[in-house]
Structure formats: structure tokens, C-alpha cells
Amino acid sequence: MATIVKSYEPTFWDKLYLPALMRGLIVTFRHFFRKNVTIQYPDQKHIPPEGYRGLHRLNKYPEGRIKCVACEMCSAACPADCIHIIPGPSPWDGGKERYPVRFDIDLLRCIFCGFCEMACPEEAIELTEIYDFSDYTRDDLVIDKEGLLEVYDLTKDQNYYTKKNLSKASSVNTSIDT
Ligand code: SF4
Ligand code: SF4
């Protein structure tokens, strides 16, 4: 049996539109007095929570020697196959025999899973809080060893996005890489 649906007949107040308009304005005014949840990016930066996995860095010892020993455990663990290392004999005396002559990460392939960080026996590779990096070409989004060491210098104090570092933060894109 067919169902008859009656079309909606607007009431007198509906036809005036004023009550609906007032209801909408009340919602708008209520939001005037609430705390903003938006920020004025890029002048203001969101500070990510601890443990956020952003742009990678290669760590150094206090005397400046790179911690990486080019064992390639990170590239073996990487599910995206985006870490490429060329090892060479270490130029420093004592202990570690190898170091990375080249160390590239293809940031467009990376899925920021953190497996490289977990696989590293030297705590040499780490993911930082930096999330706002960009560039114009695919090639420029391959970060190299010098870029990764520069990220270490920028993030070693764990205050990259604090007000103190905002001027630096605004300048970071992957143009720091190559
Ligand atoms: S975060 Fe994951 S995908 Fe990115 S380089 Fe490390 S292991 Fe590879
Ligand atoms: S970053 Fe760590 S895991 Fe990767 S090559 Fe260097 S020492 Fe090995």
C-alpha cells in the first residue's frame, strides 16, 4: 500500500524566519566567549605531544662525533624502504669502525612509524617533534646526512616549538637538507 507523505507546511513563525535567525545568532554569540581552539598558524605553532614522530635527526656525541655506525639495522627495519646508507671507515679513532658516508631518507616514502628508531643499537636515529617541513620537488624531500645532523642541532634541547625558537621554526623546511 502506498504511503502518503504530506509536504511540510511552514507555520506563521517559520515564515517570519526571525526565531530561526535568533537561534543561530545565540549560537554564534555563545562561541564569542569560549576559548579558541584554533591557532594562527604559521605565526603560532602547535606544540605536539611528547613522543610525536616527526622529522628525523641523526644524533651526535657531545664532542660532535656522529653516533651512527652505519650498521644499516634501521634501513633493514624500515617497511617503506626509504633509508639509504653508504658506509665507510670511521675517520675517528677509538671504538667504532664505521660511519655513514651518506645517509639519506626519502621523506615522501617514510610513514613515520619509528621502526628505524627502535631498531638502532646506538640510539643514533630519532624522530623529532618537527612536523612542518615542506619543499617543492621530490628530490628536495630527500633529507641527507648534513640535514639530519642540522635537525639534531635544532631539536637537541627539546624546545623547538617554544616561543624562543619560533623564528627558527618558521625557517625550517627541507631546504635545510641538501
Ligand atoms: S619512520 Fe618508519 S618508514 Fe620512516 S624511515 Fe623510519 S622506519 Fe622507515
Ligand atoms: S642510525 Fe642506527 S641503525 Fe641506522 S645505520 Fe646508524 S647506527 Fe645503524
What pTM, to 2 d.p., does this model score? 0.77
Ligand nearest to C-alpha 86: 2
The alpha carbon of 18 and the centre of ligand 1 are apart by a number of angstroms equal to 57
- Is 161 part of any domain? yes
What does residue 151 show for φ and ψ, rounded to 5 degrees? -60, -35
Whether 34 is in a domain gets the answer no
**Ligand 2 atom 8: the closest Cα is on which residue?**
71
Domain annotation covers residue 10: no
12, 33, 96, 112 from 165: Cα distances, Å? 60, 31, 34, 24
Point out the ligand 2 atom lying closest to the alpha carbon of residue 69: 7
Cα atoms in the 13 Å half-sphere on the side-chain side of 107: 28
Ligand 1, atom 8, lies closest to the CA of 78
Residue that is written with C-alpha cell 650498521 in the block: 71
Give the residues across from 125 on adjacent strands: 58
Residues 139, 106: Cα–Cα separation, whole Å: 8
Is 40 domain-assigned? no
Closest atom of ligand 2 to CA, residue 119: 3
Å from CA of 22 to ligand 1 middle: 53
**Rounded Cα–Cα distance for residues 57 and 42 (Å):** 22
Q: 18 lies in a domain?
A: no
Ligand 1 mean position to 167 CA, how many Å?
28
Number of domains the chain is built from: 1
Report yes or no on 68 lying in a domain: yes
CB-ligand 2 contact for 83 (6 Å cutoff) = no
pLDDT tens, the chain, 178 aa long: 677 877 888 888 888 889 999 999 999 999 988 988 888 988 888 899 999 999 999 999 998 899 999 999 999 999 999 999 999 999 888 778 999 999 999 999 999 999 999 999 999 999 999 999 999 999 999 999 999 999 999 999 878 887 554 544 444 445 443 3
Domain that holds residue 99: 56-176
Q: Is 105 helix (H, G, I), strand (E, B) or coil?
A: strand
Ligand 1 atom closest to the Cα of residue 77 is: 7
Contact of 138 with 177, CB cutoff 8 Å: no
Instruction: Give phi and psi for 14, each to the nearest 5.
Output: -60, -40
Which CATH number fits the domain that encloses residue 73? 3.30.70.3270
Question: Would you state the cell numbers that stand for residue 10, as one nine-digit string?
Answer: 511552514
